[in-house]
Chain A
Amino acid sequence: MEARPFNDISYERFLNEEKLMGSRCRKCGLLSVPPRSICTRCYGSEMEWVAMKGKGKLVAFTSIAIGPPSMVKEGYDRKHPYVSGVVELEEGVKVVARIEGVDGSRPETIGIGTPVRVEFLHRGEGTNATTFLAFRPS
Chain B
Amino acid sequence: MRGRRKLGRGVAMVGAGMSRFGMFSDKDSKYLFAEAFREMLSTVDKGIDPNDIDALYLGNFTNDFFVRQGHWGPIISDLLGLTPKPATRTEGACASSALAFREGVFAIASGFYDVVLVGGVEEMSKRSTEEVTQGLAMAASPYEVKAGFTFPGVFGAMATAYFAKYGASREHLMNVTIKSHNNARLNPKAQFNVSIRDIMNQRVEKAKSKGAAIPIWRNEKEFLRDPQANPVVAWPMHLYDCCPISDGASCVLLVAEEIAKSFTDEPLYVAGIGQGSGKGLHAKEDLTYFEATRYAAKEAYELSGLKAEDIQIAEVHDCFSIAEILHIEDLGFFRPGEGYRAVEEGLTRLDGSKPINTSGGLKCKGHPVGATGTGQLVEIWKQLRGEAGERQAPIKDLHIGAAQSLGGTGGTCTLTILEKR
Contact = CB atoms under 8 A, between A and B. Distances in A.
Interface of A: 8, 33-34, 59-69, 71-72, 78, 81-82, 84-86, 93-98, 104, 107, 112-113, 130, 132-133
Contacts of B231: 65, 78
Nearest to A70: B148
Interface residues of B, number: 39
Contacts of B223: none
Interface in B152-171: 152-154, 156-161, 163-164
B134 A68 contact: yes
Contacts of A68: 130, 133-134, 137, 145, 148, 150
Contacts of B164: 60, 112-113
A42 to B, nearest CB: 17
A68 B149 CA distance: 9
B322 to A, nearest CB: 11
Interface string B226-249: 000001111111000000000000
A21 to B, nearest CB: 14
Interface stretch (B65-73, B276-284, B386-394): B276-284
Given A84-B148, A96-B147, A96-B280, A62 B156 contact: yes
A106 B241 CA distance: 19
B232 A81 contact: yes
Given A67-B150, A69-B130, A59 B234 contact: no
A97 B147 contact: yes
A86 B148 contact: no
A86 B142 CA distance: 14
Interface string B272-312: 00000000111110010000000000000000000000000
Nearest to B142: A8
Given A86-B287, A95-B282, A65 B144 contact: no
Contacts of B149: 62, 64, 84, 96
Best-surrounded residue of A60, A78, A104, A132 (most CB of chain B within 10 A): A60
Given A68-B130, A84-B157, A94-B283, A62 B147 contact: no
Interface in B91-122: none
Interface of B: 129-130, 133-134, 137, 141-150, 152-154, 156-161, 163-164, 231-237, 280-284, 287
Contacts of B237: 62
B157 A85 contact: yes
A22 to B, nearest CB: 11
B157 A65 contact: no
Nearest to A63: B235
A93 B143 CA distance: 14
Nearest to A94: B282
Contact of A61 (B145, B160, B280, B282): B160
Most A CB atoms within 10 A — which of B146, B158, B231?
B146
B160 A62 contact: yes
Contacts of A133: 146-147
A59 B283 CA distance: 13
A65 B148 contact: no
